[in-house]
Structure 1
C-alpha cells in the first residue's frame, strides 16, 4: 500500500490510499504533524502551492534521460544505495526506531529499459533487511514524476512488509523548503539532493537537513552547468543561494583568470567552504567525467558531522571508482576511459612519507592514526595499513605487538586497529614523544555529532 498526498503537502496530512493495520504513515523524520506557518506556505513550494491533479507531460530532456540508464547513473545509484543501507543498519541495530531517507528530486523509479533507479533500489534493500525494514522511513518527492514513482513503489514485491509506508510527494522544491526543515527536529536522516541543473540546491537547504544528530546530506553537484553560469548575471540569485553572496563575488573574481583544472579546483574549494560553513565537518567528493571528453560533468558530494559516516562513504566510493592504482589507491571518480595513473599524486608511498612526517614524535593505535590523519584525504583504511606496514618493514616506525608477534595475513603481518604505532621524532624537529591520551570508545563512534 502506497501513500497518497493531501492538498496540505508534507506539513501534516499524509493519508493512506486504503485502510490498513500497519503503522500510521509518517511525516518527515517521523516526528508528527508540522503545521503551516502563518504565511500559508506549503512545505515544498511557495505560498498557495498545492498538489497537481493533472498528470504532467514529460519534457524531451526527461524522456531522453529515462530512455536508458547510463553507466554514470548506475554508479551514482549504487553509491547512494550501498551507503544508505550501511548507515540504516548501523543506526537501527543501535536501537533507533526510525531512520529516515529523503529524496527531494526522486525521479520515476525506473528507466524505460526496466532498470531500477535509486528510490526502488533503496526500498528493495530495506525490504530484504529484517532490521532496517522495521525502522526505515522513506520520503520521496518529484514534481514531474510522482505518479509514476508511486506506481513503481506500489508494484515492488514485499513493499507491504515495511513498517513505515513510503511517502510520495509532487511539490516543487522552493524557498519555503529549507525554512520548513529548519523548524523541525529531524530523526537520523540521510537526504539526497539531485536537482535538474542546480535550481533549488542551496546553502539553506543543506544546513536545514544537516543540523540535527546523525543527519547527513549527499548532493549531485552539476559542475558543468555551474561552471558555465558562475559569471552569468541572469542566474546570480541561484549562484548566491548556493555559494553565498560574498563568496560568489570572491569566486567570480578568482575564476576570471583561470581555466581547466585550476578553475575546477577554485570552484570546488568554494563549494567545500560553503559546506563547512553550514555544518559539514567531513566532506568527500566523487567525480564523474563526461563520456567522450576529459572534463568533469558532475561531483557527487557527501557531508557528515561524524567520522564513521565519512569512513564508510569513502569505502563505498573507493570500491565504486573506475580506476585503482597498483598499490590499491582509488581514483574516487567514474571515467569510462580510466587514466593510466593518478594525476593528483596520491599513492601509498606518498601516504607513508606523510605519516612519518606529520605524526613524528607520537604514539597511537592504528585506529587513531587513521581517524586523526585521514581527514580531508582520499584514502581508505587498507591504504593506511599498507603504508604503515611499509614503514614498519623499513624500520621507520615500531609497533606493539611487533610484526613477528602478529598473525600473518595474505603473506604479510596482520595489522589490527588496536596495534600501537610509535613514530620516531624527526632528527631536525626536536619534537617530544607524545602518546595519544586514549583510544576512541567504540560505543560512542556511531554517527554522532
Structure 2
C-alpha cells in the first residue's frame, strides 16, 4: 500500500489532509501565544511517515500543506519547526525537493528537518524519555507497523502536545487473529487488552467488531495518558468502514477545536449533529454514537443527569460533551429550549441583561428537582 499510496489523491485523502491542516492552523495560533508568554516561543510539527510531499497528480500532501500554513502566518513563522521523516530514502529526498520549491520557504527561520529513520522501539524510547517542545504530531503508517501506545503517549506527554494518527481498521482487524503479527497488535493495544479483545471479537458480527476494536483502542490510549480521544471514520463507496483518523490530546480545548473541525468535514448529519464520518458516496450513515434523534436524547439526558443541580455552563459542557457527538451550540440550543419551556432556569451571577437567543458560557444553569 505504501508504494502506491501517493499515485492518486482520493476524496478521503483530501478530507484527512484538511482535518490535519485546519487543526495545525488553530493549534499553532493558540499554543504559540502561550509559549511566547513563558519565554519559549518554539512550536513543532512532526510527521513520522511524511511521504514524498505530492501525489502523482501534483496535489500537495499533508506536510506541504502544513508548511504552507506556517509560511503564510506571520505570527508563527519564526516559531515554527518541522521534523519530517520517511524511512524510504527516495521519498524523503523527493520531499526535500518539494519543500525547497514552496514559495516563501526561505522566510522560515528554521528550515524543515528531514529524516529517513525506521519508526520502532528507538522512536518509542526517544519520545518517552525526551521532553519535547509543544508539538503537533501526525503519523500515517499505512498499516500497523510502528504504531504503538508508547509512541502515542511519548508524543503527547508534554505540555501543548497533541497527536493525530491513521488507524487502518481493515488491516488491524485482520491482524488481531494473525499470530505472525501478534507483537504489533500487543504494542498497539497492550498485551493483556489485545488478548481480551481477541476473545471478545471472536464470532462477533462486523458492526459489533468495529465498535469493540475502537472502544478498546480508545480505552488503551486513555489509560496511557491521552485523556481525550476522538475518532473520525472513513468509509468506501459501498459504505463499508475502511479506516479512522484518531485524535489524542490531554487538553479539552484541543479536543473541542478538533471536534468542531471533524464535524464540519463529516459527510452526513442528523438534526445538525455530525456523523464524524466521511463516505465518498455521501450516503446516509449511522451517527458515531448511534442516535436517531440526537437532540431529543441530549435534552432528556441533561434533564435526568443534572436534576436538582446548579452548574456553570462551561463546566456542564466540558464534563458532558466528552465521548459524545455534540458541539457547544447543540448544548446551548437544547438548554435555551428547556428554558423557554420553563423546565430550567438560567442565572447570570453578574445580573446583566441577556440578549435574546443567547446563552453565555459564564451563566449558571439550574435544573429544578
Counterpart in the other structure of 1:418? 362
Secondary structure at the aligned position of 2:273 is classed as coil
Q: Spell out the pairing of 1:430-445 with structure 2 (5 A cutoff).
A: none
Distance 2:298 2:353 in 1: 25
| 2:51 counterpart (75, 97, 107) | 107
Aligned-partner SS, 1:209: helix
Query: RMSD of aligned C-alpha atoms?
Result: 1.7
1:177 CA displacement: 0.9
**Partners in 2 of 1:108 and 1:123 — Cα distance?**
14
Kept in 2: contact 1:188–1:214 (CA 8 A): yes
Do 2:2 and 2:142's aligned partners in 1 also have CA atoms closer than 8 Å? no
Which residue is equivalent to 1:397?
A: 344
Give, in angstroms, the shift of residue 401 of structure 1.
Answer: 4.7
Offset at 1:169?
0.7
Deviation at 1:217, TM superposition (A): 1.5
Q: Which residue of 2 aligns with 1:276?
A: 222
Q: Residue by residue, what CA displacement relative to the aligned partner does 1:261-301 show, whole Å, maximum 9, x if unpaired? A: 101111111111110121100111100012x2222111111
Q: Is 1:244 matched with 2:190?
A: yes
Q: Tell me how far apart the structure 1 counterparts of residues 53 and 329 of structure 2 sit (CA, whole Å).
A: 35
**Aligned match for 1:308, one of 253, 264, 267:** 253
Shift of 1:418: 1.5
Which TM-score applies when normalising by structure 2?
0.93
Equivalent residue pairs, number: 358
| Offset, 1:376 | 1.7
**Corresponding residue number in structure 1 for 2:238:** 293
Secondary structure (helix, strand or coil) at the match of 1:318 reads helix
Measured against aligned partners, the alpha-carbon deviations of 1:162-201 in whole angstroms (never above 9, x if no partner) come to 1211111111112211111122111111111110211110
Match in the other structure for 1:86: 26
Q: 1:341: how far off?
A: 6.2
**Deviation digits for residues 413-437 of structure 1, max 9, x if unmatched?**
1122122211112xxxxxxxxxxxx
* Cα shift at 1:366: 2.1
Query: Whole-Å Cα distance in 2 between the matches of residues 192 and 276 of structure 1?
Result: 18
* Residue 153 of structure 1 pairs with residue 99 of structure 2: yes
User: Are 1:118 and 2:62 counterparts?
Assistant: yes
Give the Cα–Cα distance (whole angstroms) in 1 for the partners of residues 77 and 268 of structure 2.
34
Local SS of the residue matching 2:234: strand
Match of 2:354 among 406, 425, 430: 406
Q: CA deviation at 1:65?
A: 2.3
DSSP 3-state at the match of 1:257: coil
**Equivalent residue in structure 2 for 1:335, among 269, 279, 284:** 279
Other-structure match for 1:58: none
Contact 2:33 2:41 (8 Å CA) reproduced: no
Q: Contact (CA 8 Å) 1:199, 1:238: kept in 2 or not?
A: yes
Give the aligned partner of residue 257 of structure 1.
203
Q: Give the whole-Å Cα distance in 2 for the aligned partners of 1:259 and 1:150.
A: 46
d(CA) in 2 for partners of 1:369 and 1:322?
A: 28
Counterparts of 1:401 and 1:209 in 2: how far apart (Å)? 41
* Cα distance between partner residues in 2 of 1:258 and 1:192: 32
Task: Tell me the distance in 1 between the aligned counterparts of 2:7 and 2:198.
Answer: 37
d(CA) in 1 for partners of 2:229, 2:85 = 25
| SS at 1:283 equivalent | strand
